A and B are shown apart, each in its own frame.
Chain A
Amino acid sequence: MSIMEYNGGSVIAMVGKDCVAIASDLRLGVQSLSISSNFQKIFPVTDRVFVGLPGLASDVTTLHEQFRYRVNMYTIKEEREIEPETFAQLVSSTLYERRFGPYFIEPVIAGMQKTPSGSLKPFIAATDLIGCLNFAKDFVVAGTASSKLFGVAEGLWEPDLEAEDLFETISQTLLNAVDRDAFSGWGAVVHLMCFFEGSTHPLAQPRRSSTNRIASPVAP
């Protein structure tokens, strides 16, 4: 039995045109027994950064608290919010601190990164359980359905997807992948972040990111 498959769960993040999305399933299990269909694996870090933490459920909580503490310390010292790429480095070093007794989590980071011109550009990254960073330009996956996510994403994803299309692409990828994974599923959640420069788009007004529950938890 692999500890990485003890509780199950999967996360994926994708880049679009001026937008980025991160999605996960909602299952929590103990091996093949499903316990919860509303287990949060994706957490907001700042207004512009999300982190997904698939892996051992107890470490999800521990690492989430650890990241919250370190991001708060960073915010106080620097008197500004942490950028996605900086946060990815923080995740990496936090995990590598435990190189020989790791947290059993493979984090996925998605956010909108500030550019020198002041606009925002999509950013995604993922690491393994000891913090080896992977900055991808297209999509990153992690968790028990990772090979399935890779297969579907490689088939569906294309460059410069508009926000609506990115939402559909990441949703289809996640749903079809977790449907073939015994350890993932039981509902899913998608977070979409978009950059609307001077836009009147309704999504751009009230908040900077939107979260959509694309499949409600299903009773067994």
Chain B
Amino acid sequence: MPDGSFAHPQQRHFNPYTENGGTILAIAGADFSVIAGDTRQSEGYSIQTRYAPKVFRLTDRAVLAVNGFAADGNMFVKKVKQRLEWYRHAHAKDMPLRAIARLIQTMLYAQRFFPYYVYNILGGIEEDGKYHTSLPSYSTAFPPHPLSRVHWIKREWKCGPKVLVANTFRLLVQLGSGAVYSFDPVGSYEREACRAAGAAQSLVQPFLDNQIYFKNQTAPAGQSHPTHLPLQDVLSIVIDSFTSATERHIEVGDGLEMYVVLAKGRSPQGLESIAGIQEVTTKSDSDRVFVIRRELKKD
């Protein structure tokens, strides 16, 4: 029984961690990614604020969602952004998505014995998409730039001992593909098509298995399930996931912030018509980043 005396030694303990609730989620499409998170920050049963962003634009093709201990999360994002800025200064271009993913792994593992108590989901556009022969109008509209993913190739024909080189060049354009990387607090990571994390992970992930991966669903005879869903369908699933999580989890709610990363060259069909959408891209002629905000229940 504590009595204030120094007769018996007392053990005190400082816990450097806390949990700040909330949930994040990312889904990769064929040539886009959606990265979303709610905006409530809480501790125990108290809502600290109704607007604390958990999703951050890193570059014009990478968006990072962080969830767990908010102080660690904010510090981690700050340090990732700093490393990306250094990379930009050194290489005069943005770091590719897969390189950001590996960077995040090493940064997390560096803290293996005093971890950032944070679950990370990185979404964006990967440079591994299909090559498409461009139309002449495309090459006029988007002339090749040293930073762009446009490749000039020479056409060659072998005719016996001779090699004929065509006197025209053709333009090949690499379309980026949607990518999602998910991490654990000490840096284990993998590329996936979709991932939920945070307080309502257990509510959302099985729903996504069903709706994104079509788990436990049989395709009609002679047909197969699509490998990637269209953007409008993905946005509907994201909104449904968060309204459901808000309904059944006390730490989820207040607001929803959805980032959409569109691969360069993809027409933003249907995106302009979404109410309140905001473009946050910094450069022209690059992949594009948009934010969509929605209200969630506040109780």
A and B touch in the complex (CB under 8 A): yes
Q: Which residue of A lies closest to B216 (CB)?
A: A175
Contacting pair A180 B206 (CB below 8 A): yes
The segment from B87-95, B154-162, B238-246 that touches chain A is B238-246
**How would you classify the secondary structure of chain B's contact residues: helix, strand, loop or mixed?**
helix
Contacting pair B210 A180 (CB below 8 A): no
Contacts of A150 in B (CB 8 A): 203, 248
Q: How close is B27's CB to chain A, nearest CB, in angstroms?
A: 14
> In the complex, which of the residues A151, A154, A155 contacts B202, with contact meaning CB atoms closer than 8 Å?
A151
Interface residues on A, range: 10 to 19
Q: How far is the CA of A152 from the CA of B245 in the complex (A)?
A: 10
Which of A148, A151, A152, A156 has most chain B Cβ within 10 Å?
A: A151
Contacting pair B217 A155 (CB below 8 A): no
B215 at the interface (CB under 8 A from A): yes
Contacting pair B248 A176 (CB below 8 A): no
Contacting pair A176 B203 (CB below 8 A): no
Binary interface profile of A, 145-183, with partner B (CB < 8 Å = 1, else 0)?
001101110111000000000000001100111011000
Which of B202, B206, B209, B247 has most chain A Cβ within 10 Å?
A: B206
Q: Which residue of A lies closest to B196 (CB)?
A: A151
Q: How far is the CA of A117 from the CA of B79 in the complex (A)?
A: 69
> In the complex, which of the residues A155, A171, A177, A179 contacts B244, with contact meaning CB atoms closer than 8 Å?
A155
Contacts of B211 in A (CB 8 A): 155
Q: How close is A159's CB to chain B, nearest CB, in angstroms?
A: 15
Contacting pair A176 B215 (CB below 8 A): yes
> In the complex, which of the residues B202, B203, B217 contacts A172, with contact meaning CB atoms closer than 8 Å?
B217
**How would you classify the secondary structure of chain A's contact residues: helix, strand, loop or mixed?**
helix
Interface positions, chain B 182-209, Cβ under 8 Å from A, are: 200, 202-207, 209
- Given that A172-B216, A172-B217 are contacting pairs, would A177 and B206 also be in contact in the complex, using a CB cutoff of 8 Å? yes
Contacts of A155 in B (CB 8 A): 207, 211, 240-241, 244
Binary interface profile of A, 177-196, with partner B (CB < 8 Å = 1, else 0)?
10110000000000000000
> In the complex, which of the residues B203, B215, B217 contacts A154, with contact meaning CB atoms closer than 8 Å?
B203
Contacts of B216 in A (CB 8 A): 171-172, 175-176, 179
Interface positions, chain B 11-48, Cβ under 8 Å from A, are: none
Contacts of B204 in A (CB 8 A): 151
Q: How close is A43's CB to chain B, nearest CB, in angstroms?
A: 25
Contacts of A176 in B (CB 8 A): 206-207, 209-210, 215-216
Q: How far is the CA of A150 from the CA of B204 in the complex (A)?
A: 9
Q: Which residue of B lies closest to A175 (CB)?
A: B216
> In the complex, which of the residues B203, B215, B240, B247 contacts A147, with contact meaning CB atoms closer than 8 Å?
B203
Contacting pair B202 A152 (CB below 8 A): no
Q: How close is A171's CB to chain B, nearest CB, in angstroms?
A: 8
User: 13 other contacts beyond A150-B248, A154-B248, A172-B216, with CB at 8 A cut-off?
Assistant: A151-B202, A151-B203, A151-B205, A151-B206, A151-B207, A151-B244, A152-B207, A155-B240, A155-B244, A156-B210, A176-B209, A179-B206, A180-B202
Q: List 24 A-B contacts (CB under 8 A).
A: A148-B202, A148-B205, A148-B206, A150-B248, A151-B202, A151-B203, A151-B207, A151-B244, A152-B210, A154-B244, A154-B247, A155-B207, A155-B240, A171-B216, A172-B210, A172-B216, A172-B217, A176-B206, A176-B207, A176-B209, A176-B216, A177-B206, A179-B206, A180-B202
B-side residues, CB < 8 A to A, are: 200, 202-207, 209-211, 215-217, 240-241, 244-245, 247-248
